[in-house]
Amino acid sequence: MTASDRADGRRVVVHPDKARLAEDVAGRFVGKLAQLTQEGRPVHVSLTGGSMGSAVLAAAAQHGWASNIDWSLVHFWWSDERFVPRSDPERNAGQARAAFLDVITVPAENVHEPAAADDAVTLDEAADAYAAELARFGADGRPWPAFDVCFLGVGPDGHIASLFPDRGEVHVTDRAVLPVRESPKPPPERITFTRPVINASSRIWMVVAGSDKAAALGLVLAGAGYSSVPAAGAEGTHETVVFVDQEAAADVPEDLIDPDY
């Protein structure tokens, strides 16, 4: 079986533990940015929240190659954000700033953070404003950039970004950003990219750790339906890689693991 045959084109890369997982993904991330910025063009990255997302960014900030990257070319976005006050520890952007963005020398205008609940805007206005910001960097005839790297976490229920199973948001294709109310996972109000924005990414890198994610990952790799398992519908135009630790890989068949990537 070739790598392109694995899990409908997904590569699965297994690491012994969370620490090694974070270190490896961070090294690949910094290396990819070093390569892409040498082309002299803007590079767009979509970040994710959660403990593993923060761990990867913290490791990337300390990587030896980070100081060689022209950060003025790199733009940072979030596939979803919690609509809470800006100082709330639940904010994905706040976690990313503490772990990474406040450590490297990225220009403030390259950090595209969604509006917060204390910014005197409504949830709908925040979603519309983020869509307008995406449109400023539209590419290939679409009102959003094609992300060079899109990081995604996967919830125990199979959600990605704030696209939760069997909810209306998973089916929307005519908008870039949506408000989310009554989220099944707190906090209840969020904004999220839609599936077309995520799937326009060149590289989708899922970072999945812990035994509580094993069942969801198994469904993703078994070809579950997108509506019930949104992570199953995430597919980059160039590559889709699932980086996992040993615990999350419990239900991954051996023949789906790519040992050479």
> Which pLDDT score, from 0 to 100, does residue 2 have?
37
DSSP-H helix ranges across the chain: 18-37, 50-61, 92-96, 123-135, 195-199, 214-221
Tens-place pLDDT, residues 177-197: 999 999 999 999 999 999 999
CB 54 within 8 A of CB 48: no
| Per-residue pLDDT band at 254 (split at 50, 70, 90) | confident
Measured distance CA(176)–CA(149) in Å, rounded: 17
DSSP codes, 149-165: EEEE---TT--BTTB-T
| Per-residue pLDDT band at 255 (split at 50, 70, 90) | confident
Set out the domains of the chain in order of their start, with CATH numbers. Answer: 3-190 (3.40.50.1360)
> Which pLDDT score, from 0 to 100, does residue 61 have?
97
- Asked if residue 25 has pLDDT above 50, the reply is yes
Tens-place pLDDT, residues 98-120: 999 999 989 999 999 999 999 99
Average pLDDT over residues 37-56: 97
pLDDT above 90 as % of the chain = 90
- Within 8 A by CB and 6+ apart from 255, the residues are 1, 6
Q: Which two tokens stand for residue 86?
A: 């800006």
> Which pLDDT score, from 0 to 100, does residue 5 have?
37
Q: Which residues of 185-214 are buried (b: 16+ CB within 10 A; e: fewer)?
A: eeeebbbbbbbebbbbbebbbbbbbeeebb
Q: Which two tokens stand for residue 26?
A: 């961070």
> Which pLDDT score, from 0 to 100, does residue 105 have?
87
Tens-place pLDDT, residues 138-166: 999 999 999 999 999 999 999 999 999 99
> Of the ranges 4-8, 62-66, 100-104, 224-228, which one carries the lowest mean pLDDT score?
4-8
pTM check: above 0.85: yes
> Which pLDDT score, from 0 to 100, does residue 7 have?
40
| Per-residue pLDDT band at 253 (split at 50, 70, 90) | confident
